[in-house]
Amino acid sequence: MKKIIITLDGYSSCGKSTLAKQMARALNYVFIDSGAMYRAITLYFIEHAIDYTNDTAVQEALKHINLEFDYNESTGTSDILLNGRNVENEIREMRISNLVSDVAANQFVREFGVAQQQKMGLQKGIVMDGRDIGTTVFPKAELKIFVTADPAIRVARRYLELSAKNPGITKEEVQANLAMRDEIDSTREFSPLRKADDAVVLDNSHLTREEQLKTALQWVNEKINSEVVL
């Protein structure tokens, strides 16, 4: 069957990665979490005390960053490697969430991330989630989905996910972090978060995982069938 590129964009914690993983599994596609790349860059900047506002320092630091994805048999998805080190868990910590949107707004960080993501799409058969995937990374993707969910539901979902590993975390902290990232992501100068004109909207506030997958797979089928030349 014809392989396509599927992009999933949207605000923080609206379930993009969950849906992207479900779709990749169902279609036997590769899932790429572009946010993990910006999170890993942020971890490197923290560990090496790189000032994200200093473009010269940022450009030099990026020369020393190698990002790869490594398939993890036990989770059935890929972990991110920063210079060969598995940082999949570490990049989900709040210290990263608190800084990642500022780092990701830097022009050189964006150019670095986008170039690597575009290379990953050369083979097609991928589902990539992020903020600017349908607008900047793959403007010609066959299927673009813009995922949304009610803000209160997004906070509740992320709080549940984080509190399992961070017993001290509060709902207010999570809510403030999501609001801050959404604001920075949608107002930044270089590839801000916005719905691509040709994206379809999926509001999953009241959908089960099965329901959201069903809707998305219907769109995939429509796209694949509509592109068959008779």
- State the residues that interact with ligand CDP by CB under 6 A: 12-13, 17, 34-35, 38-39, 100-101, 104, 130-133, 181, 185
Cβ contact 9:147 at 8 Å:
yes
Least distance in Å: CB of 104 to ligand CDP? 3
Cβ contact 13:158 at 8 Å:
yes
**Which residue's beta carbon is nearest to the bound ligand CDP?**
35
- Kindly report the number of other CB atoms within 10 A of residue 150's CB atom: 13
Closest to ligand CDP by CB, 118 vs 218, is: 118
Strand partners, 201: 146
Least distance in Å: CB of 64 to ligand CDP? 20
Closest to ligand CDP by CB, 152 vs 227, is: 152
Closest to ligand CDP by CB, 77 vs 224, is: 77
β-pair type (126-130, 77-82): unpaired
Least distance in Å: CB of 130 to ligand CDP? 2
Distance from C-alpha of 219 to C-alpha of 81, rounded to nearest angstrom:
32
Q: Is 72 helix (H, G, I), strand (E, B) or coil?
A: strand
Cβ contact 144:134 at 8 Å:
yes
Least distance in Å: CB of 12 to ligand CDP? 4
Closest to ligand CDP by CB, 148 vs 224, is: 148
Closest to ligand CDP by CB, 118 vs 221, is: 118
Least distance in Å: CB of 197 to ligand CDP? 18
Structure letter (DSSP) for residue 86? E
